[in-house]
Structure 1
């Protein structure tokens, strides 16, 4: 049973939350316009369950595609597929079982959302190959991991708006930053085996690159606030969120590249940022 949990990364839930928070932001922004408590709670639950399922399926699929690469990286060589403890056939069967409940959830939404949700499959399928062909797999992950922003809005309104795109790009830049931090753990091994990442591309100027990512994300949140007529409190709280991201950049500069545990802790702190943005949006519904 533990092996199954490990295969699905249920023993490391940070990825579930990083996938869920952009969905929750979008649902909360939609709730600000419609205030339908029943649908809001229903969709939050469905999207959280969906995040668990899709993140698990994505991890298994990535492990299948990256089997040979994972075996050559110190941090990942003991993963179940890379080490041969679980066969590729068993892994594909696990994905098949996970897809069924994911589709059950998706087909509870409107037709526009069904098409939008299914279209994310192309991003999910191609993402693991990006590290082989470009230094920007983290950017591609940003487009993939934040698709829930578009989907969350569409289940209410059956469209995509400028506000939704701004929020989507907020998540993309945020993911570009935090996944670059995550990739720092494997920088030495990736250089040896010629796997590409933004952590390698900007290894001589990582601080400025991370500041660029996070400043872009915060700037978009501020722009969204003006566009949707948010309260003064919203902008004050966004400033605190900005400090949270700035603190990450300052800390990561002081950590040695071989200290994977500390790098992981900085990466994990993005769960707090995702929760903070959700709470800011939520407070705006009733107190803004």
Structure 2
């Protein structure tokens, strides 16, 4: 095993490594609190949806209380989702260099302990969800189906990234009904755009494990696309931009929203141009840069709402 004992191979030194109590570290790693990028990527579609709702409702900014709830809920539910993923994938993780030091295959946490931790995180997410109106609560509960099936898709299809897109983009369906108490076309189109975005950025991420995955029979778009990855990324990133533009138009977004979207598109184009599939460290850096891309777009939504 390479790297520091107990540290997942794609995680560098962080507060969990340096400051957390020893007994707590495995649980923080199960929740990926040592690597919060996934929580940000789960959160951003929620904020996009809240931003579009503010524009459509003629409000000067997204509801701060909703944005805070989405922040807490995203971190709690991403942690629960990762814990479930690690329970389901514990045998596969033991065969992959990057993941074999995760807490369950490394023997730091039992499956029963991990499941109890999953329930605790899910309860936090439920408490957050109950702060919204009844329709939004129902939409949030429906998201659990996508979370439950995602870990198993890589065993049966080269498109598990679609499953991740369905789960990680669900927030695009949450911010809108939190304001309006219903789902309108703008929210659905935003959801579709976010799914395309997730498929592209997770393909970049999957290139870190492409060789190990192929050896043990795990499927992914990284393996499916192979040398065609760059044009496929361009296709999905372009689809994301077009669909989000349509969502913004349906919500009444103006020229400031358009500028934010253009900056978002430029960042995605940079990722596509910069990609080197043979460089795992670069793939990880490009993957992480999607947080910045998403926040740039959200900033455009906020400014558009404010100056209207």
**Does 1:279 pair with 2:299?**
yes
- For 2:232 and 2:299, locate their aligned partners in 1 and report how far apart those are by CA, in whole Å: 27
**Does 1:214 pair with 2:234?**
no
* Residues 82-93 of structure 1: pairs in structure 2 closer than 5 A: 82-93=105-116
> What TM-score does the superposition give when structure 1 sets the normalisation length?
0.95
After superposition, the Cα gap between the structure-2 partners of 1:49 and 1:250, relative to the gap in structure 1 and judged at 3 Å, is same
The residue aligned with 1:260 is: 280
Q: Secondary structure of 1:203's match?
A: helix
* Matched residues, number: 285
Q: How many Å apart are 1:105 and its aligned residue?
A: 1.2
Q: How many Å apart are 1:212 and its aligned residue?
A: 0.5
* Residues 22-101 of structure 1: pairs in structure 2 closer than 5 A: 22-34=45-57, 40-101=63-124
> What TM-score does the superposition give when structure 2 sets the normalisation length?
0.89
| Structure holding more helix per residue | 1
Task: State the superposition RMSD in angstroms.
Answer: 1.5
**Does 1:119 pair with 2:145?**
no
Q: Identify which of 109, 133, 139 aligns with 1:110.
A: 133
- For 2:58 and 2:174, locate their aligned partners in 1 and report how far apart those are by CA, in whole Å: 18
Provide structure 1 residue ranges, at least 5 long, that are not aligned to the other structure: none
Deviation per residue, 1:238-283 (Å, 9 max, x gap): 222111101101111xx252x3222111100001011011101101
**Does 1:205 pair with 2:228?**
yes
Provide structure 2 residue ranges, at least 5 long, that are not aligned to the other structure: 1-23
- For 2:194 and 2:62, locate their aligned partners in 1 and report how far apart those are by CA, in whole Å: 23
Conserved 8 A contact 2:27-2:117: no
Moved over 6 A (4+): none
Q: How many Å apart are 1:222 and its aligned residue?
A: 2.2
Q: Secondary structure of 1:132's match?
A: coil
Structure 1, 151-160 or 211-220: larger mean CA deviation: 151-160
- For 2:69 and 2:255, locate their aligned partners in 1 and report how far apart those are by CA, in whole Å: 32
The residue aligned with 2:180 is: 157
Conserved 8 A contact 2:37-2:288: yes
Conserved 8 A contact 2:177-2:183: yes
Q: Secondary structure of 2:226's match?
A: coil
